């Protein structure tokens, strides 16, 4: 309650008290002094009523202004609240989308875990990764998937390299059960036992690859064991170096996705070099043919030059004859026909010129 309202209430209460007093006095006496006092009091009451009316109007105006201000404040607050709710809804939508992405990622992780936990599915996963790498780097005629060898075995991939070294087999079905045991080991004793199992499984698989995929006269004298995990590859070279060295003796070399990519790029360079050597033989034969064509062209140019020389000689002879004819025409024009010379005797008749005399003059 504000100060104006309190003052108005005080005036109204005072007015009511004065009215009550006047009523009681009016009932008790009616002297002239009382009448004068009543008139003065009445004037004060009128003035108080006027002040009270002004106060009431002022209070009403102030209340209306406060109401409008409150309404505007509530409207602005409602707009701000609505905007904040809209922003909150947008953020909630983003959070829902992120949550959906996390759920999908979690589902994919579970599916990947299921794939890696199943032996056949894990083998298919390694084969798929191997196929993607090979298809990205090598041309289609440089490899075969699931190619059959003479001993009935079918490597996951066979690189078609010329001799030497010959076709190289790649296997992508390494058993990782011992690797998972190593990851789940708690103390050093369990880790040592898991590493031993991993080395045993690795050595057995290397022997199988050497026996099935290295065939004298048919394949290269080495093969590749593809590990679709950089972590497994690093573990072998860090903790199982003896098993890796034994695999080198068997000419079975392990490769991670990164090292296999480098190997395949080297294979592509070898194939390109072989192709260039094959084309070099064809180019050499074409160069020999080109040299023969150049020699024939040179001979024909010489013949044509000889013909040009003969034609030039004939043209020169024709020019000489033309000049002689022109000189004889001039001689004939200079003969004086006014006094003909005496006719020579038959014995002294002039000899007809021989056409061959042109060559002499």
Non-local CB neighbours of 208 within 8 Å, separated by 6+ positions: none
- Residues 132 and 113 occupy one common structural domain: no
Q: Is residue 328 part of a domain?
A: no
Q: Is residue 172 part of a domain?
A: yes
Non-local CB neighbours of 176 within 8 Å, separated by 6+ positions: 116, 122, 229, 232
Q: How far is CA 297 from the centre of its chain?
A: 54
What's the predicted TM-score (pTM) here?
0.48
CA–CA distance, 54 with 40 (Å, rounded to integer): 21
Residue at a domain's end among 64, 83, 117 = 117
Computed from CA positions of residues 13, 18, 21, 27, in that sequence, does the dihedral angle turn out positive or negative? negative
Which structural domain range is residue 78 located in?
Answer: 1-20+48-117
DSSP string, 118-149: SHHHHHHHHHHHHHHHHHHHS-GGGEEESPPP
List helix spans (H) across the chain. 3-28, 32-117, 119-137, 177-184, 188-213, 230-239, 241-249, 257-333
Half-sphere exposure (CA, 13 Å, Cβ side) for 302?
A: 6
- Residues 110 and 137 occupy one common structural domain: no
- Over the stretch 192-246, which tens digit does the pLDDT of each residue have? 888 888 888 888 989 999 999 998 888 888 999 998 888 888 888 888 888 889 9
- Across 35-49, 93-107, 120-134, 163-177, the highest mean pLDDT is recorded for 163-177
pLDDT at residue number 295: 85
Question: How many other C-beta atoms lie within 10 A of the C-beta of residue 100?
Answer: 10
- Residues 111 and 139 occupy one common structural domain: no
- Residues 105 and 177 occupy one common structural domain: no
Half-sphere exposure (CA, 13 Å, Cβ side) for 345?
A: 2
CATH number of the domain that residue 166 is part of: 3.40.1350
Q: Is residue 221 part of a domain?
A: yes
Q: Is residue 330 part of a domain?
A: no
- Residues 112 and 134 occupy one common structural domain: no
Beta strands 168-171; 223-226: pairing state: parallel
- Residues 174 and 258 occupy one common structural domain: yes
How many domains is the chain partitioned into structurally?
2
Q: Mean pLDDT throughout 157-186?
A: 81
Residue at a domain's end among 246, 275, 304 = 275
pLDDT at residue number 305: 83
Q: Is residue 327 part of a domain?
A: no
- Over the stretch 233-277, which tens digit does the pLDDT of each residue have? 888 888 888 888 998 999 999 998 999 999 899 888 888 887 887
Q: Is residue 42 part of a domain?
A: no
- Residues 94 and 187 occupy one common structural domain: no
- Residues 140 and 262 occupy one common structural domain: yes
């Amino acid at each position: 309650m504000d100060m104006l309202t309190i003052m108005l209430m005080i005036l109204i209460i005072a007015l009511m008290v004065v009215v009550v007093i006047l009523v009681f006095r009016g009932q008790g006496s009616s002297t002239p002094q009382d009448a004068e006092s009543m008139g003065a009091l009445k004037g004060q009451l009128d003035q108080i009523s006027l002040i009270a009316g002004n106060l009431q109007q002022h209070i009403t105006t102030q209340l209306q202004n406060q109401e409008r201000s409150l309404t505007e404040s509530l409207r602005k607050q409602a707009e701000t609240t609505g905007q904040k709710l809209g922003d909150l809804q947008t953020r909630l939508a983003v959070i829902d989308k992120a949550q959906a992405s996390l759920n999908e990622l979690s589902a994919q992780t579970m599916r990947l875990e299921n794939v890696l936990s199943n032996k056949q599915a894990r083998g298919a996963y390694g084969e798929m990764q191997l196929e993607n790498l090979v298809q990205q780097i090598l041309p289609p005629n440089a490899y075969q998937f699931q190619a059959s060898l003479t001993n009935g075995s079918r490597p996951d991939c066979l690189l078609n390299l010329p001799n030497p070294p010959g076709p190289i087999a790649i296997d992508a079905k390494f058993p990782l059960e011992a690797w998972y045991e190593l990851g789940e080991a708690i103390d050093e004793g369990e880790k040592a036992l898991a590493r031993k199992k991993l080395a045993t499984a690795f050595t057995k698989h290397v022997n199988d690859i050497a026996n099935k995929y290295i065939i004298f006269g048919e394949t290269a004298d080495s093969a590749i064991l593809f590990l679709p995990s950089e972590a497994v590859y690093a573990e072998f070279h860090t903790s199982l170096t003896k098993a890796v060295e034994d695999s080198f003796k068997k000419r079975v070399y392990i490769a991670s996705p990164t090292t296999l990519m480098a190997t395949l790029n080297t294979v592509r360079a070898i194939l390109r070099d072989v192709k260039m050597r094959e084309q070099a033989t064809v180019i050499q034969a074409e160069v020999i043919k080109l040299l023969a064509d150049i020699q024939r062209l040179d001979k024909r140019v010489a013949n044509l030059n000889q013909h040009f020389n003969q034609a030039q000689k004939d043209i020169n002879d024709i020019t000489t004859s033309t000049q002689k004819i022109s000189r004889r025409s001039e001689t004939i024009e200079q003969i004086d026909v006014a006094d003909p010379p005496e006719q020579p005797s038959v014995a002294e008749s002039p000899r007809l010129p021989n056409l061959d005399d042109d060559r002499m003059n």
